[in-house]
Chains A and B, each alone.
Chain A
Amino acid sequence: MNLEPELQLLQAAAAGERRAQLALYELCYPVLISAARRYYHNTDEQMTVVNNSFVKVIQYLNNYETGRFLSWVKRIISNEIIDEYRRNKRYNELYRFDAPVEERGAPDFQTDQIFSHEQLQRMLLSLSEPARLVFNLFAIEGYSHKEIAQMLGVTEETSKWHTKMARKKLRELIENIHE
């Protein structure tokens, strides 16, 4: 599905036309809400982060030049979530597990079962906040540990540790569903 907006719509939204802004919101909403649902249980929290991110989209629309608009929107909501994480002073939890992580070979996880989006989201949301944040950024959004370390202000080892802990927990959850 091609969701990239037309240039005219972007220009009108940047100029402050409310109709255009709402039309653009409709277009960005699936990207924004799918990201928000991976991080937050609560609808109010989802609404806050989705709408704050969209306001930033409007605010910085003049700076957007070319490229994939929705990827840019995704990046904005990721940054917003990280900022929100910092604002709510949960940041120190990240430092609790600053220990070296053993590099292991290829993981041995295999499953034939098909999971719905809701099931996967529920599993993801059951992770601790730091683990969920790092796993989302690494496994789903595709950032490297180096990038995550820079974004969150932690070491790469910490990022790897949280990813490992998240995988361990998720495997357990999947096995429980199997049983």
Chain B
Amino acid sequence: MNNPVKDPLDELFSSLNDLVQESPSPAFVQDLEARLDALEKKRRKPLLIWWFFSALGAVLFIGSYFLFFSNHAANQGQQHAENKNNTSAQAMTKKQMDTTSTSSLSLSSSSSSSSSSSTFLSSSTNLIAAHPTTSSTLLSSSVSSSNAAPSPDKTRVQEETYIINPILLSDDHEKDCVLIVDQPTPVLPKEVAPSKKRIQHQIGLQFGVSGIFSSFDLPASHPLLTDDQMKLFRETRELGERNTSSWDFNLRYGMSINNWQLQTGLHYFEWGEQLQYDVISVEGTNRYRYLSVPLLLGYSFDFGKIQIVPFTGLAYGKCLTANGNYIEPQVNGVTLVTAKNFAGTFIGQLELQYVLNSKLVFTCTPVYRRALGPLIDHQMIVNSYQSLGLQTGFLFRF
């Protein structure tokens, strides 16, 4: 602070520092309230970001869970099917072998050796089936042995011969076994056989970001404004209002009938614009938040694991945040406006679906939206909004 020895002139003017009690006019208070609202909106932003990342985390977690669960289920199903195939193949081979052994053993007169041989054959069914050549040799030897003089001792020797054969015990032969047994193709159980469903349901979550493009119209004339004032108002708004961006959220349910897809759910998005009116030193962002129910129809084009689904339709939504600020038509302050409580939106989107497995689908969707009709209830603020965005997420089919 400066020297206490003051110029008398400075002393005279420093009396302006003395305070006079007075109250602000309503115009001051209204202007202040608009600015405090804008400040409050700014403060809420970090909270929204926190929600966004939490929700994104939840989607990734749920997506990973479904991915793991579906893969696990698919593996189990595959294993189950393989087991069943093996069992049925075993059953078939056993049947064949039983027939063979019966026919070969029928040549012998001893019923006890027949039962013994049968037991042995059933225990080594796979091995025999794996090597028809070997097995036929072995069988023929078995048959020839039984032809000669089937005795318990001889059968035991045969058993030992089969069991210790190293070729038959190797893994490669087990694989061959499956392949050979599968010829001719066995009839799979009904529940394992693939069948194409005509109707399929899906639920999903999507998040994304949109760029909002706002434009405005002014009435041709206004009873309280001259042409010059209208021009100034238009220019100030053109200079002071800019496009902004918003977070999108889509909790969706879908139903597909063949290639046709119907989509509905809950769709959160925003309209609005950034403000920076230098003439009155006001800045901030107008955000009109809507929670809508969309009804979209799409057609799926399949390219293997990738499907492209153009959707189009309408959404009708309830406004969650309706307050906004714009510059006064007289360009001397801020006017408060309210967005419509319910509003319609046209939606067009081109969805790219990547099928991760039979249950889970990853989606990436460019979305175009357009607000139907003027959104704000004000004679001088006639805004129209469009947005272009990208949403990503997961769908779970059931």
Q: Which residues of A contact B (CB under 8 A)?
A: 1, 3, 16, 18, 21-22, 25-26, 29-31, 33-34, 38, 44, 47-52, 54-55, 58-59, 84, 87, 107, 109-111, 115, 117, 120-121, 124, 135, 138-145, 147, 167, 170-171, 174
Within the complex, what minimum Cβ distance (angstroms) separates B89 from chain A?
Answer: 74
A25 touching B280 in the complex, CB below 8 Å, given contacts A51-B35, A110-B8: no
A51 touching B31 in the complex, CB below 8 Å, given contacts A25-B24, A107-B9: yes
- Contact present for B36 and A18 (CB under 8 Å): yes
- Contact present for B32 and A51 (CB under 8 Å): yes
Within the complex, what minimum Cβ distance (angstroms) separates B397 from chain A?
Answer: 46
Residues of B contacting A143 in the complex (Cβ-Cβ under 8 angstroms): 1-2
Q: How many interface residues does chain B have, given as a range?
A: 35 or more
If A34-B20, A107-B9, A117-B20 are given as contacts, then 6 extra A-B residue pairs at C-beta distance below 8 Å, sorted by A number, are A48-B281, A50-B28, A59-B39, A139-B13, A145-B2, A147-B1
A9 to B219, CA, bound (A): 45
Residues of B contacting A25 in the complex (Cβ-Cβ under 8 angstroms): 24, 29, 32
Tell whether B227 is near chain A: CB-to-CB under 8 Å.
no
- Contact present for B22 and A139 (CB under 8 Å): no
Closest to B280 in A: A48
Closest to A48 in B: B281
Looking at the complex, which one of A22, A87, A124, A138 makes contact with B2 (CB distance below 8 Å)?
A138
Tell whether B157 is near chain A: CB-to-CB under 8 Å.
no
Residues of A contacting B9 in the complex (Cβ-Cβ under 8 angstroms): 107, 109, 139, 167, 170-171, 174
Closest to B332 in A: A44
Residues of A contacting B280 in the complex (Cβ-Cβ under 8 angstroms): 44, 48
Q: Which residues of B contact A (CB under 8 A)?
A: 1-3, 6-10, 12-24, 27-29, 31-33, 35-36, 39-40, 43, 278, 280-282, 332-333
Residues of A contacting B31 in the complex (Cβ-Cβ under 8 angstroms): 47-48, 51
A21 touching B36 in the complex, CB below 8 Å, given contacts A29-B22, A34-B20, A167-B9: yes
Within the complex, what minimum Cβ distance (angstroms) separates A57 from chain B?
Answer: 11
- Contact present for A120 and B20 (CB under 8 Å): no
Residues of B contacting A3 in the complex (Cβ-Cβ under 8 angstroms): 19
Residues of B contacting A140 in the complex (Cβ-Cβ under 8 angstroms): 10, 13-14, 16-17
A55 touching B28 in the complex, CB below 8 Å, given contacts A34-B20, A124-B13: no
Looking at the complex, which one of A84, A110, A120 makes contact with B16 (CB distance below 8 Å)?
A120
- Contact present for A1 and B19 (CB under 8 Å): yes
Residues of A contacting B43 in the complex (Cβ-Cβ under 8 angstroms): 16
A21 to B16, CA, bound (A): 26
Closest to A54 in B: B32
A16 touching B40 in the complex, CB below 8 Å, given contacts A51-B28, A147-B1: yes
Within the complex, what minimum Cβ distance (angstroms) separates B130 from chain A?
Answer: 79
- Cross-chain pairs A/B with CB under 8 angstroms, 22 sampled: A22-B32, A26-B24, A30-B20, A30-B22, A44-B280, A49-B281, A50-B28, A51-B31, A52-B281, A55-B35, A59-B39, A84-B281, A87-B281, A107-B8, A109-B8, A111-B12, A124-B13, A138-B10, A140-B13, A142-B14, A147-B1, A147-B2
- Contact present for A30 and B21 (CB under 8 Å): yes
- Contact present for A124 and B16 (CB under 8 Å): yes
A130 to B247, CA, bound (A): 46
Closest to A146 in B: B2
